[in-house]
């Protein structure tokens, strides 16, 4: 017999979206045409999702400058700064609300 109620299966502690800040430095500013951006991405988004969103906004040169296939291009270093840490990241590093992603090119 049904009671007429439904059980929520969504994770109520997980936000539906994450807001992140993005910064590019040095030669990447020239290659992409931008220095800073703010964006909202779906929960579970990764550094690669940031690059894809930037490419949607600024053009395909952004993706070419930062990624090769599904990995960061050789010489591109990404770091993620959160309220708790500041760590080097890969393209598949997950992001949380409030994170700041910084891309730089190193020789």
Q: Does residue 49 fall inside a structural domain? A: yes
Residue 107: per-residue pLDDT: 76
Backbone angles phi, psi at 49, to 5 degrees: -65, -35
Number of domains, the chain: 1
Residue 14: per-residue pLDDT: 57
Q: Does residue 11 fall inside a structural domain? A: no
Residue numbers in the chain where pLDDT is lower than 50: 1-11
Backbone angles phi, psi at 65, to 5 degrees: -75, -30
Residue 15: per-residue pLDDT: 64
CATH of the domain at 54: 3.10.20.30
Residue 100: per-residue pLDDT: 98
Residue 31: per-residue pLDDT: 87
Alpha-carbon gap, residue 37 to 51, rounded angstroms: 11
Q: Where are the alpha helices (DSSP H) in 3-98?
A: 27-32, 47-58, 60-66
Q: Is 84 helix (H, G, I), strand (E, B) or coil?
A: coil
Residue 7: per-residue pLDDT: 40
Q: Does residue 35 fall inside a structural domain? A: yes
Q: Does residue 4 fall inside a structural domain? A: no
**Residue-number span of the structural domain to which 59 is assigned:** 17-105
Q: Does residue 10 fall inside a structural domain? A: no
Residue 79: per-residue pLDDT: 98
């Amino acid at each position: 017999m049904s009671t007429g109620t439904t059980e929520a299966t969504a994770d109520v502690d997980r936000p539906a979206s994450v807001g992140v800040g993005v910064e590019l430095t040095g030669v990447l500013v020239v290659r992409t045409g931008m220095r800073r951006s703010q964006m909202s991405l779906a929960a579970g988004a990764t550094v690669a999702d940031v690059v894809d969103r930037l490419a949607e906004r600024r053009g395909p040169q952004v993706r070419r400058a930062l990624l090769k296939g599904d990995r960061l291009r050789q010489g591109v270093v990404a770091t993620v700064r959160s309220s708790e840490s500041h760590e080097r990241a890969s393209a598949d590093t997950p992001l949380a609300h409030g994170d700041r992603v910084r891309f730089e090119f190193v020789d």
